[in-house]
Amino acid sequence: MDQQLSGQSNRPLTKPAHSLERGDVVQQLEADVENGLATPAAQQRLQDYGRNELDDGPGVQPVKILIRQVANAMMLVLILAMAVSFGIRSWIEGGVVCAIIILNIVVGFFQEYQAEKTMDSLRSLSSPTANVVRDGVTVNVPTAELVPGDLVELKVGDTVPADLRIIESINFETDEALLTGESLPVAKNEETIFDEDTGPGDRLNVAFASSNVTKGRAMGVVYATGMHTEIGSIAAALRQTDSKRRPIKRRDDGTAHPLRHVESWTLTFSDAVARFLGINVGTPLQRKLSRLAILLFGIAIVCAVIVLGANRFSSNPQVIIYAVATGLSMIPASLIVVLTITMAVGTKRMVQRHVIVRNLKSLEALGAVTDICSDKTGTLTQGRMVVKECWVPTRGTYSIENSKEPFNPTLGVLRLSRSPPIAHGSEKGVEDDRISYSDSLKDNVELSDLIKIASLANIARVHKNQEGEWTAIGDPTEIAMQVFASRFDCNRQQFFDPRSPRLRQMSEYGFDSDVKKMSVIIEDLATNEQTVYSKGAVERILECCTRIRWDGPEEVEITDAIKGEILANTEALATHGLRVLALASRPYDPRSGRRASREGPPPRDQVERDLIFRGLVGLYDPPRPESADAVRSCHRAGIKVHMLTGDHPGTARAIAAQVGILPRVTGDLSERAAKCMVMTAREFDKLTDDELDRLPALPLVIARCTPATKVRMIEALRRRDAFMAMTGDGVNDSPSLKISDVGIAMGQSGSDVAKDASDIVLTDDNFASILSAIEEGRRMFDNIQKFILHLLAENIAQACTLLVGLAFKDRSGLSVFPLAPVQIMWIIMVTSGMPDMGLGLEIAAPDILDRPPISLKAGVFTWEVCFDMLVYGLWMSALCLSSFLLVVYGFGDGNLGEGCNEAYSEACDTVFRARTTTFVSLTWFALFLAWEMVNMRRSFFRMQPKSKRYFTQWAYDVWRNPFLFWAVIAGFITIFPTIYIPVLNHQVFKQAPISWEWGVVFVEGIVFFMGCELWKWGKRIFFRRRAKKMGYTPEDMEKLAFSQFTTMERTGQDEFRKGSQ
């Protein structure tokens, strides 16, 4: 890239952006400040200017992947085996090992290359996003897809996605320490223009890429993307690779003791060895399996020594090869590759289910989640709010009906009841008069004041797009308020029309999850009078109000009795599931404080005081249709769901009951239990840690929740040994997301700060997607268990067969191989590798969400897996040895010949045929076991318990996973050339063609299947009885979600938390 002129666009402007008027920048970039770019134009510019990304280097590097295939512990073992084989002139065995090494490198390279490409594409999905106006609507797009001319909206917590020329802003400040080193946030002003040679730190009309918004909001037009941004210029100049060398600890004067140099190099070398062995890189599970591989390597050496010892440490090359083969039988060569592929495919599947994984370790954690702490708005509910009711104390209750289009202010019937909301719940026959919107405002100053607050204490925009359809830009709550105001012909845009503005916004005090209110100061351009307009949580607004119009047009002081009645009406609206906001305003008198100006806004506490209470507004945000089923599925899966919301307790209680977080029938609950079930943040925070721990159960709903309350909730759950997932979207949610076991950020409404602190991101902000992520986490955990069990059971079978086979001595006193070295390597690479990959791709078991959460303490190596490993391994070994014995001693003459490990002869025919029978039996067992592992407990013939295909369901299950099916079929087919092709059978595999021995193989295969089915049948009985005894059935777990509140006891909780492992 050519040297970029600071402040210029990808396509140079007449002057740098900071030296041009806003209108000039918009005109030269051919932007549209009303509707943004059209989608086709944006796509064309993306092709012309490239993606908005810094040049991070070569990306996926095939050479490094190839080096990783060669430089790892597993490959080192194979290379040593090859060296030993060639060293003792066993050319065939050495050549086979060499072929296996090449095959392993080639297959591993292509598989890992595809996995890296997949993960690279997912990393781009998890990158920050930006709110961009395109086609007249605000859309959330990856920052990489921004182009010059895009109109971007910024709010607190956002990361500026590209270099922007600010078009409009309110109290807008950014942290530019990354770019300029300035430690304090920089206040921006879009109206000023600067000289061309002004440095980046002084360009106050520009927001720079990678800086963070610390205050206010703004809208800007993108003028530079990618390496053309200021941060791109710095990245180009400073790009360097990270050093893997440990730093030397130095004294204050910069000198270092000679031993510190030795220490640095020693630690650097140990880090390199650990990286080579894989024990300090990757996810916790990957590191655990790397340590397992090292343990198996040690066991392999012990096995090799046993073989040598049983043959009196003979220097016979065949004994040495036998020892090498026995050692190799314990090495799971494809373990790490299969794990990498499984995790890559799992993350790709999650994207299809609206979940982006930012941290791979969260994949292993999702299956262990016992509690979900979820927000309400937009997660459990649809996030498409409409104003249903509003209460003006002197006029009554206005309600809006038949409003089916949330953004269309022309639809909906207005009715007026002279009674307050509290009367609607207690009196029958309350009459509602239908009234037109225009008539309702006649001689109605009180309603006009309330409507004006809804319109002006609001930054949402509601308008018709180019197709004539109503559309909206902004926060769902503010959109609903703006639509409500527009019904009365009081749309905010008519007051701020650039051609003839009537009002000017002087200051804005944004909504914050701590203060729970939002205020603006608006100046009337005709009279220069300023007015404060505020909206927010009822309790917080009431704290700021001193007067109200109560019985007439005169303002009176708010007494405790009036305040109590306002709160009672709030409760009445909230019990209908409405989110209730209070609205207030007052004239802003400069004599009571500093006059508001955009350059110096007065302090918030001077503005939000002595307000006049104007009324209540009730907004309805219907639950998502899938939320109730998702919550019920969580309960059946042993997962408790907690709602942590900023809404009123009544609203939170109503919605929580609708989606099943709270029981619909609460008649059997004591007053103490009901109070414990639903709390406000104030009540929760008043309790000490000891008092929280003494509660029979933590609340299922916390209303008026603050970020600090979320942190305390996580700490309280952790003290109860819970494993929790926490959702969040705001800047203040980042601490709770960071310390939770699984932090879940919202992809649409979430801030970039929250996303950076999270482990996974929901692209649709939907609670049901959390359940999908947990299901996918459990599926992946199950599949990892399946292929590890399959792999290690085979290793046990091979090792036991070879070690017991040491007892078969020929006339010279040397042990006769029941399995030849090449046969062992064939099973390790061909018979195991591909089916294991197929097991990693298996779909979720039907009952995967009917079990308790998995235990991370046990990990994949549960007692069940360990017993399965031993049972299947020993069962295969016993049948393999019986195959060998039947052919040699049962149907043969028992003659083991001499030198049968080296070459074929007439005397060795029986041994070679017995070896073929054992090899085919073990191959079939390994392939059949792969199909048995599709479900570790259910019968192979009945894996789908609800299926009506009683006799053919197994065929559908086998074909459902094509990769596994063809891997098994390939294993069956490829065995025949090794048996019947001359030279290949005698010289390489040390076996001979078989005929009647196939009968032994078929019988052994049936017996193996029967043994597996019998073992799984016994497991089903055991686990069914244990589940019934300990309350692990889906119905019991569903009831357990509320049992602690109905009994007010904690019996069985500790046992439940341990899971079913």
Paired strand residues for 134: 37, 137
Hey, what amino acid is at 131?
Answer: N
Tally Cβ neighbours within 10 Å of residue 803: 17
Do 419 and 432 form a contact (C-beta atoms < 8 A)?
Answer: no
Q: Which of 890, 910, 886 has its CA nearest to residue 900?
A: 910
Place of tokens 């709550």: 477
Phi/psi region, residue 135 (left: phi>0; alpha: psi -120 to 50; beta: rest), is left
Q: For residue 371, give the H/E element and its range.
A: strand 371-374
Paired strand residues for 623: 381
Do 650 and 622 form a contact (C-beta atoms < 8 A)?
Answer: no
* Cα 809–Cα 810–Cα 811 angle in degrees, nearest 5: 125
Do 99 and 82 form a contact (C-beta atoms < 8 A)?
Answer: no
The dihedral over CA atoms of 932, 824, 78, 69, expressed in degrees to the nearest 10, equals: -30
DSSP letter string, 760-787: EEETT--HHHHHHHHHHHHHHHHHHHHH
723: helix, strand or coil: coil
Hey, what amino acid is at 14?
Answer: T
Q: Which of 169, 167, 143 has its CA nearest to residue 155?
A: 169
Hey, what amino acid is at 811?
Answer: R
Hey, what amino acid is at 903?
Answer: A
Q: Active-site residue among 32, 158, 175, 375?
A: 375
* Cα 54–Cα 23–Cα 178 angle in degrees, nearest 5: 30
Angle (deg, nearest 10), helices 335-352 and 91-125: 20
Number of H helices, E strands in the chain: 38, 28
Tokens of 669: 């609950």
Hey, what amino acid is at 386?
Answer: V
Do 471 and 137 form a contact (C-beta atoms < 8 A)?
Answer: yes
CA dist., res. 164 & res. 965, Å (int): 54
Q: Give the list of residues 6+ apart from residue 463 with CB closer than 8 angstroms, or none.
A: 136, 470, 471, 472, 491, 493
Q: Which of 1044, 159, 179, 184 has its CA nearest to residue 672?
A: 1044
The dihedral over CA atoms of 581, 587, 593, 594, expressed in degrees to the nearest 10, equals: 100
Q: For residue 504, give the H/E element and its range.
A: strand 503-509
Eight-state DSSP code of residue 442: T
CA dist., res. 67 & res. 275, Å (int): 13
Angle (deg, nearest 10), helices 335-352 and 833-840: 30
For the question of residue 375 being annotated catalytic, the response is: yes
Q: Which of 60, 163, 35 has its CA nearest to residue 121?
A: 60
Tokens of 746: 């919202």
CA dist., res. 1056 & res. 1061, Å (int): 11
CA dist., res. 899 & res. 1012, Å (int): 37
Do 576 and 654 form a contact (C-beta atoms < 8 A)?
Answer: yes
CA dist., res. 423 & res. 438, Å (int): 26
- Please tell me the number of Cα atoms within 13 Å of 184 on its side-chain side: 3
* Cα 959–Cα 965–Cα 971 angle in degrees, nearest 5: 155
Hey, what amino acid is at 61?
Answer: Q
Catalytic residue annotation: 375
